[in-house]
Structure 1
Amino acid sequence: MRNTTLIYIQKNDNYLMLHRTKKKNDQSHDKWLGIGGKFEDKESPEDCVVRETKEETGLTLTHYKYRGIVTFVSDIWETEYMHLFTADGFTGNLIECDEGDLEWIPREQLLSLPAWEGDKIFLNLLFDETQPFFSLKFIYEGDTLTFASKDGVPLPLASSH
């Protein structure tokens, strides 16, 4: 199992997104994601998200919130626990990212970008500031989301493509 973080950094009504184009053997190649990465030894979720944000973007987080956890189960990849955050406070300037291209994307365009199907589920939850901390579980077969639940309750899936 691996622990990771993912953060959606907001500036006005735009979100900083990473178009994953540069890493070899990237399970998220050509998808758009928030910023994040794997925990290092002895890190808390907060330690990891602050470090990963600085490494990938050059930005230093000044105001962020732990919003939820997502359990990913896959027939290909190891099980992953992803700790989700949002942020609306930071300092610094963007740097070149070695994993892909960073871009500020208007909120209304986020759900139309190429992304994992489950990402669209948690993005809608993250957009709702009144949404309490949540736990999601996604089961994938290859790139196909076959099961989703929120706080232990199954969710309906979008119809097959």
Structure 2
Amino acid sequence: MKGLTTLCYIEKDGQYLMLHRTKKEHDINKDKWIGIGGHFEVDESPDECLRREVFEETGCTLGSCTLRGIVTFVSDGRTPGAGVTEYMFLYTAEDLQGEPADCDEGELIWVDKEECPRLNVWEGDKIFFRLLNTHPEFFSLKLVYNGGDRLMYAALDGRPLEL
């Protein structure tokens, strides 16, 4: 199965707006901290999906944003071809119009950028944070998980990364 998603790290005053996913029962991201985004709807472009998701999750309008990379997630990497593949368009933004409102998926909190990797995040998200700070060019990142929380393989622009 394949999926298309977006994710955005919205920055203000040295902080990212993070969503602590606590409210949905059957949520693959339950208790994790993530950026803002979600799944494409029919016929949406990545930008349209992102803007809709930002509005749905925050009640705010997203101004300018920058597409920073494409992330390929493979789940259940123990058995090639047996898992789920997801392609995520990763954005950053600094132009959020309005004040974030309550979210039905969890709690929205501004978190210092340096603290984000220490939160309960996916292992691959720690790579995102590093790349967003050190890799100014557009990138392609592949992350292979074991079907759970364990990151088994990562590659940046087609070259394996040391985990």
Task: Settle same-fold status: TM greater than 0.5.
Answer: yes
- In 2, the alpha carbon distance for the partners of 1:111 and 1:143 equals 15
- In 1, the alpha carbon distance for the partners of 2:83 and 2:102 equals 28
- 1:72-126 CA-to-partner distances (Å, cap 9, x unmatched) read 0011862110100000012112111011100000111111101000000011111
Normalising by structure 2, report the TM-score: 0.92
Normalising by structure 1, report the TM-score: 0.93
Structure-2 residue corresponding to 1:24: 25
Tell me the secondary structure at the aligned position of residue 9 of structure 2: strand
State the number of aligned residues.
156
Runs of 4+ in 1 over 4 A off after TM superposition: none
Tell me the secondary structure at the aligned position of residue 9 of structure 1: strand
Unaligned runs of 5+ in 2: 77-81
- In 2, the alpha carbon distance for the partners of 1:13 and 1:22 equals 27
AA paired with 2:94?
D
Q: CA RMSD in A?
A: 1.2
Identity within the alignment, %: 55
AA paired with 1:80?
E
| Closer, same or farther: CA 77–101 of 1 in aligned 2, 3 Å | farther
Structure-2 residue corresponding to 1:82: 88
Structure-1 residue corresponding to 2:103: 97
Structure-2 residue corresponding to 1:135: 140
Structure-2 residue corresponding to 1:123: 129
- In 1, the alpha carbon distance for the partners of 2:160 and 2:52 equals 33
Tell me the secondary structure at the aligned position of residue 115 of structure 2: helix
AA paired with 2:21?
R
Unaligned runs of 5+ in 1: none
